[in-house]
């Protein structure tokens, strides 16, 4: 059974259906939610939604790498990475599904 990729449009429609809102209302809420998430990332803050996930910014220290094409060492500068850590509840759902 092939998994389908769920989209923003699907999520808006599903939220509207389950919460008995109009899709227009949910689109406004979702747009605001996206803006808040972008602000959190821009400000390098951490977001924890208990039962779902934790989102945080991780710093990868500067280090030496290897350019395989040119066979030489390269300096890789410090970078930031957005990390998502699923909650234990989500992880357990996945484990339970795999055991079925």
pLDDT digits (tens, 9 = 90+) for 41-74: 999 999 999 999 999 999 999 999 999 999 999 9
- Pairing mode of beta strands 47-49, 79-86: unpaired
CA-to-CA separations, 12 to 22, 28, 32, 86, 90, in angstroms, rounded: 9, 10, 13, 22, 21
Q: Dump the DSSP string for 76-95.
A: E--EEEEEEEE-HHHHHHHH
Between the two ends of the chain, the Cα-to-Cα distance in Å is 15
pLDDT computed for residue 1 by the predictor: 54
Q: CA 15 from chain center: how many Å?
A: 18
pLDDT tens digits, 7-42: 999 999 999 999 999 999 999 999 999 999 999 999
Domain layout of the chain by residue ranges? 1-43, 52-100
pLDDT computed for residue 96 by the predictor: 82
Q: Please indicate, yes or no, whether the overall pTM of this predicted structure exceeds 0.85.
A: no
């Amino acid at each position: 059974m092939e998994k389908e990729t769920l989209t923003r449009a699907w999520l808006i429609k599903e939220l509207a259906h389950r919460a008995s809102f109009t899709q227009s209302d949910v689109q406004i809420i979702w747009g605001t939610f996206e803006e808040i998430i972008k602000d959190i990332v821009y400000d390098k803050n951490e977001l924890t939604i208990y039962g779902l996930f934790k989102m945080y910014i991780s710093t990868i220290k500067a280090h030496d790498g290897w350019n395989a094409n040119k066979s030489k060492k390269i300096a890789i500068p410090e970078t930031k990475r957005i990390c998502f850590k699923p909650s234990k509840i989500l992880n357990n759902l996945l484990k339970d599904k795999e055991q079925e």
